[in-house]
Amino acid sequence: MPMFPVPRPRPDKHTARKAWEASWAADLEAYFKPGLPLHRYPRLISSASRDALAFCAEPQNVLEDDSRVKDICDVDIDMARCLNPHDWQSFQDGWRRLSSNRREEIILEGLYHASCIGSNEQFRGHCPEMTLKDLAKDGGRELLRLLSHWSNLPNLTHATHLGHVYVPNPIFDHIVSLSDAEAEAPGAKATARMCRINRMQFMSMALWNVYRTYQGIEGPSHDTLNTATITPENKKQLKALLDSQYGKGFFKKWRAENITSDRSQLVNACWYCKKGENQLNGERMKGCSKCAALGIKIYYCSRECQVADWKSGVPRPHKVLCGKRDLYLE
């Protein structure tokens, strides 16, 4: 049994949105069976192969996960600002005044837009509660409960927000849980962390797009979330990871649809402001020599960005990580 619901051919989400949603809801319900004892679910440590665990623990892949966390933090900041106490109450009042049909339309639109961003849709399998049926029932009670995780946050900035919001789920958390002994297995912590990031990448984008749809804002937001990359060195491990999570043969299809062939998006961009090297008028990026010695490539476009990231980088200040290999793998 794969670690999470296996992606499969679905009705076209652009032209048959309700049928597409129904196929996802059926898969999530079939996999995350309500009331099933937790011990019946396959746990990460027993489902992932050794190659898959090793892939997740590669320093550069951990760095790419950190880059995704930075993007999720951007969404968190926007949501926290929009769902401040005054606007949050206004949103709840307005939401409850909508007809049930209109609420369902808005939720479906948000799920659709979130799934149109890069390879984001594949991470929906990490979110058992993210279905139209569950989010819309009882007047949208579950939707409001999930959004409340952001409404209770203070107004945030990059300087103060050092980690992304995480919404717990008993079944998912059981699947990725590790005992003290299991956590010592090479790559186990990094793999569990990657799965949690996958979960929040889809969930935060879906909820944010539901809110934007309610406000009448067209189209998906924050469409720069990184997709995975593939190199000759990591191909075998990436294949093992995806096939263990989603079923044999998934790697080939996913590679064709979602994976870029180089790491230029991350390697040749400023880690703090994301400015690309092609925007520097011929100047070269400056790298962190201590991290480079560990095989971790972190670049900055300027001294100012390097200093800012050292003091207040997201998800963690660089002064905490610099030259410390073990911290990259936590």
Q: In whole angstroms, what is the distance from residue 204 CA to residue 178 CA?
A: 24
Q: What is the pLDDT of residue 264?
A: 35
Give backbone dihedrals phi and psi of 57, rounded to 5 degrees, phi first: -85, -5
| Tokens representing residue 214 in the block | 């309610």
Q: Confirm whether pTM is higher than 0.75.
A: no
What are the sequence ranges of the domains in the chain? 17-262, 268-330
Q: What is the pLDDT of residues 7-36, one digit of tens each?
A: 678 998 888 999 999 999 999 998 888 778
Q: What is the pLDDT of residue 300?
A: 86
Q: What is the pLDDT of residue 326?
A: 63
Q: What is the pLDDT of residue 163?
A: 61
Helix H or strand E encompassing 299? strand 299-300
Q: Which residues pair with 299 in a beta bridge?
A: 287
Which stretches of the chain drop beneath a pLDDT of 70?
1-3, 6-7, 154-163, 218-235, 237-238, 241-247, 250-268, 278, 314-315, 325-330
Collapsing DSSP to helix, strand or coil, 75 comes out as helix
Q: What is the pLDDT of residue 109?
A: 93
Q: What is the pLDDT of residue 224?
A: 39
Q: What is the pLDDT of residue 6?
A: 65
Query: Which DSSP string do the residues of 101-134 spell out, in sequence order?
Result: HHHHHHHHHHHHHHHTSTTGGGGGGG-TT-SHHH
